[in-house]
Amino acid sequence: MTDLDRISLLARLARAVANEGSDRPLEERLCRAYLSILGGDGAALTVSYTRPGRITLCVTDDVAARLEDLQDVLGEGPGPTAYDTQDITVADLRTRQGRWPLFVDAAREIAGAEVLYAVPVRATGAVIGVLSVHHSGRVLPDRAHAQFLADAIGAALVKDIPQDSDLTAGPWSSRSAIHQATGMVVVQLRISPDDAMALLRATPSPTTPRLRRWHPRSSVDD
């Protein structure tokens, strides 16, 4: 992926989050924005995935909730594997063959669940959770795009910026530069300052000129 691809995807994510309104929690808007960009019938976002204190931040529908519960109870499935291997993992629920026989057999009983893929969610270089997406047999999205958007969600969820993050070096070394860029995103994408700051954390080495090109009514795909 080029930097232009990343900036374009991030702009689409920001617009999709803005279109979800402000009455829902940010994590839910991020999940729904991901689905609107890459497709899918539903998603679940869980952090601290393999730990006793795991927390599911968002489920967009009942099927996603049931699939996530199954993986938690059985301890197997694409979610735990994606978390452990730090790689995108896919389960085809239309066949009994696979690496998670208990999960696949149970998941086949859930109406509407055909394919489930799990993407590790990273922030500041570490996997903090998993984004699981189910869909009805459609072609899987581009892996690089899926991973980049999942990492953008991870960056957006991290409220406290570590000292060694990209925001404290290069073009983001000045607090005034951060405030200026945040203000630009607020105005151009019509989202709240908190959401703008969260999305800026996911920008790959951004620059002010690139941010100026974003416009809420333009289409990146056209």
CATH code of the domain containing 155: 3.30.450.40
pLDDT of residue 159: 53
pLDDT grade for 174, boundaries at 50, 70 and 90? very low
The answer to whether residue 204 is domain-embedded is no
Alpha helices in the chain (DSSP H): 3-19, 26-38, 62-74, 78-85, 101-107, 143-157, 175-189, 193-200, 208-212
Range among 38-42, 135-139, 157-161, 202-206 with highest mean pLDDT value:
38-42
pLDDT of residue 5: 81
The answer to whether residue 188 is domain-embedded is no
The answer to whether residue 106 is domain-embedded is yes
65: containing domain: 3-161
Is the pLDDT confidence value at 210 over 80?
no
Q: Structural domain tally of the chain? A: 1
The answer to whether residue 199 is domain-embedded is no
Is the pLDDT confidence value at 76 over 80?
yes
Is the pLDDT confidence value at 131 over 60?
yes
The answer to whether residue 96 is domain-embedded is yes
User: Distance between the two ends of the chain, CA-based, in angstroms?
Assistant: 18
pLDDT grade for 37, boundaries at 50, 70 and 90? very high
The answer to whether residue 113 is domain-embedded is yes
Sign (positive or negative) of CA dihedral 63, 64, 69, 75: positive
Is the pLDDT confidence value at 1 over 90?
no
pTM of model > 0.75: no
